[in-house]
Amino acid sequence: MTSITNISLLKDISPQITSQNSFTSFITFGDSLADVGNLFITTRSINPNPPSPPYADGRFSNGELVPEIIAKELGLSASTPSLAGGDNYAFGTAETGSGFSDEGLPNVGEQIKTYLDIDAPAEGDLFFITAGSNNFFPDIDEEVIPDNISTPASVLEGLTENITTLADAGAENFIIPNIALLGSLPFARNEGISDALNTASTEFNSLLGNKLDDLENELGINIIELDVASEIAQILANPSAFGLTNVSEPALNTETLNVVPNPNEYFWWDEFHATSVVSSLVAQSVIDEIPKDTVGFRDTKTPANFPSVQSLSISYSDYETSYSIADSGKDTSNYTFSFGAANEYLNSFVFGESSEILWFADAKQKNIPGDIQNTLFATDSYL
């Protein structure tokens, strides 16, 4: 499993990320943190939830959500609800696991079932699942006590079931966020259950990291875990650094539907959801770590033919510019990477082997036989 704290290590030379595995679809499941209108479409003829405006087009915020922003950066979309023909199956109030929420709306398992009834995972599909928070909220129609909170293990069991169902159907690539410390929610503070919710969400996040590692190995899938909890904690700890002036009160009064004049300076939109400004900050923390010319990633386990890279050197001659990577391995033929366009020579390269180093060379200064438009070739005689 790859976490966002490790993605920065993939920006230079890594087997995990390659343009050969470009994604073509961004398929979303989850709760109100990802719902772009399914609950609104379901309820709009009776009592629209969420009321839009002031909520943004059926989203539980005043603008775009984290999965939308990430998908857009990858040249894809997570902004069309499944009930309008899109690939975003998320529903507000959804929990991990199967069945339906207390409100009678589809949990993640039911969302996946709906998807699999009409479609099947393809090689270019990237699956985003965000859920778990709603499992921890006690029934607010009854007396609110910490004992009503679900156990982290049971919540994770439901998410494991969801990921496994998709993997068994052929899904290979996943993005799974952890959850914020729920005790920071205005709802939690108002109900006096911040400590209980913080304890539950912290334990869940700890269990989640280990479980995702296990699932990668057991199911042969690729998972990037987004450390949303750390990003949100950083913002709450130093809000002024992010242009925020209020991290305790919601910008929206849900009874009157009045909005403060400066919602973009608020962390919270309502008692449960952050403003779009915060969504952008959290998403950007992830986007900054993903190579801009790449929309694919491979298994984080090092393949047999990929060496342990130790150093990169660049040399110049009258004929060409050569790039050599010191290496502890040997056979890496035909392994291609996409490096981005900051250097005009760093495009797609075929890796070969000469003595104890990996090598590749640009063919823009010397006419080397082969298809040099997309893949560059060289032999050790050119070094």
**Domain shared by 189 and 260, yes or no:** yes
Same domain, 240 and 324: no
Q: CATH number, domain at 42?
A: 3.40.50.1110
Q: Are residues 190 and 147 in the same domain?
A: yes
244 and 355 share one domain:
no
Residue type, 257: L
3-class secondary structure, 187: helix
- 111 and 208 both lie in a single domain: yes
pTM for this model (two decimals): 0.71
What pLDDT does 288 receive? 64
Which two three-digit tokens encode residue 113?
């079932």
Residue keyed to tokens 């296990």? 214
User: 350 and 235, same structural domain?
Assistant: no
Shared domain check, 71 and 19: yes
Which residue segment(s) compose the domain that 123 sits in? Answer: 2-287
Q: What is the pLDDT of residue 336?
A: 32
Q: Are 281 and 231 in contact (CB under 8 A)?
A: yes
Residue 299: inside a domain: no
- In angstroms, the CA 329 to CA 381 distance is 20
Q: Single out the residue in 222, 253, 287 at which a domain terminates.
A: 287
Same domain, 332 and 269: no
Give me the pLDDT at residue 144, please.
Answer: 53
Residues 81 and 148 in one domain: yes
Q: Is residue 296 part of a domain?
A: no
Number of other residues whose CB lies within 10 A of the CB of residue 238: 11
Low-confidence ranges of the chain (pLDDT < 70): 1-21, 138-149, 288-383
Helix (H, G, I), strand (E, B) or coil at 147: helix
Q: Cα–Cα distance between 280 and 160 in angstroms, integer?
A: 28
pLDDT at 359: 36
Task: Tell me the per-residue pLDDT of 78-125, one tens digit each, with 9 for 90 and over.
Answer: 999 999 999 999 999 999 999 998 889 999 999 999 999 999 999 899
pLDDT value of residue 138:
65
297 domain residue, yes or no = no
Identify whether residues 75 and 177 lie together within a single domain. Answer: yes
Q: Kindly state whether residue 192 falls inside one of the protein's structural domains.
A: yes
Split into its structural domains, the chain has a count of: 2
The contacts of residue 108 (CB under 8 Å, 6+ apart) are 29, 30, 31, 94, 95, 96, 97, 129, 131, 158, 159, 162
